[in-house]
Amino acid sequence: MQAAPLLDLAIVGAGAAGVIHLHYARQSGLEALLLEKEGGVGGLWRRLPAWQDIQISPADWTVGDLPLGGSMQPHILANIEAWVERFGLADRIRLDSPVSRARHTGTCWELDTPQGTVRARHLVAATGGHNTPAIPDVVRRASTVRELHSSALRDPAELTGRTVLVVGGGASAFDLMDLCLEYQAGRVVWAYRGLRWFTPTGKPKIVAGSVRPFAKMQANGMTVAQQNEMIGADLLARYEKFGIQSIRPDKPLDVQQDQLIPGRARMLACFGDLERHPASVEAIEGPDVTLSDGTRLAVDLLLWGTGYRTDLSYFEEPRIAGIRTVGELASRCACIFRSLDAPDLYFPGVGLDGIGSAPWYFMLMARSVMSHIRGTAQLDMAPLSGRLNHFDVVRHLAERDVGSYAGERGWDFYRALALGTPDDQPYPLL
């Protein structure tokens, strides 16, 4: 049997990262193919409920003049679809093509799909760092409690009048509590094992989530220590102003480790009405939930705001297949996103928990991946000690991909973007 033709690049996953990488592959003249297991593009955004939204402002998500009608799930899905239409990518996207196994033969990548084996010199695994709902494994005995992960709550109206337990200490849990308050749940109980920093504010997320102030800090040459000091002082003052010191994280903010989450105005306004337990769920028996602090609650609905884990089980290499979190994935990458465990393999998902714009990050990464494939850039194999955010990614890649940052597109160009772009306008498509 004749072997499949050898592509320059295969991309797995047609979310924002995959589609952006395909665009830059085509722009670079590379022979690329994108494989998507669903019947349409969008990745996780295709499956999320309509109430889900982004954690940054629409101007930060938008790249160039690609349309973005708002911050909610339908708008984000439409924006990803707009990339496909604008740049004529559909003919290089193979839908309904899940990859059951990805292996490196020593000379190339081979990807098994229902339509046959795809062979490529390089592989971008754009299936996301957050692609599988994470639900803790707890004891369940004759449970009558309805449990939903945040990604499975399709109709928030079913919260009305119910006793709801929200579990989690990050963005998903904050969103769920806001929904409980908006839809007038009868009783809202919040259980959390750990807490993440967020920005207490009365402003909506589409304003509070702007990363432009952070970009200006970077462009003005502030060190990471100075950024931590300035942002940390602001957060402490906000926590005190809103009277929520009781949910302040134990560790100081570190921009190289933490994601800065925008506040939820409704949650803050009704903070005193939330029944809070710094505890985890131990058991669900009949209609009752038992927490690790000994509390026993009769609950109608349990909402898991516990985020997502990383599923890379389609890789044959066990060191990759065993990765379960974005943190683990980042620790197994060099030069931000280049795998240490297999050759010519790149993971866009490692940037999802940073401070900045995911599409902007994917665009910068995709350009340098294509330069590396063409041999005009050298992405090294040196691991990083911490996360790189937003315009720090520019500094890092510029040293390794000189051609993409040469002449008028050097640091001065990006510094001018950070300092001079109005907050309500997107950065340009590069």
Is the pLDDT assigned to residue 157 strictly greater than 70? yes
Beta-bridged to residue 187, according to DSSP, are 163
Residue predicted with more confidence, 260 or 149:
149
Determine the Cα–Cα distance for residues 42 and 85; give it in Å rounded to an integer. 13
Cα R_g (the chain), whole angstroms: 22
Q: What pTM does this model have?
A: 0.96
Contact 140, 282 (CB under 8 A): no
CA distance 11 to 22: 7
Asked if 389 and 355 count as a contact pair (C-beta separation under 8 A), the reply is yes
- Helix (H) or strand (E) run with residue 262 in it: strand 261-262
Provide the pLDDT for residue 2: 61
For the stretch 372-428, pLDDT in tens is 999 999 999 999 888 899 999 999 999 999 999 998 999 999 999 999 999 999 999
- Answer left, alpha or beta for residue 73, where phi above 0 means left and psi between -120 and 50 means alpha: alpha
User: For 409, which DSSP code?
Assistant: G
Nearest to 416 by CA among 207, 211, 220, 213: 220
pLDDT-based confidence at residue 9 (cuts at 50, 70, 90): very high
- pLDDT score of 343: 97
User: How many other CB atoms sit within 10 Å of the CB of residue 219?
Assistant: 19
Domains of the chain: which residue ranges? 6-131+310-420, 135-307
Fold of 135-307: FAD/NAD(P)-binding domain (3.50.50)
Spatial CA neighbour of 123 closest among 89, 95, 99: 99
Q: Tens digit of pLDDT for each residue in 288-321?
A: 999 999 999 999 999 999 999 999 999 999 999 9
How confident is the model at residue 301, as a pLDDT?
Answer: 97
Average pLDDT over residues 257-266: 89
CATH architecture type of domain 6-131+310-420 = 3-Layer(bba) Sandwich (3.50)
Whole-number average pLDDT of the chain: 95
**Three-state DSSP class for 428?**
coil
Beta bridge partners of 262: 199
Same fold, 6-131+310-420 and 135-307: yes
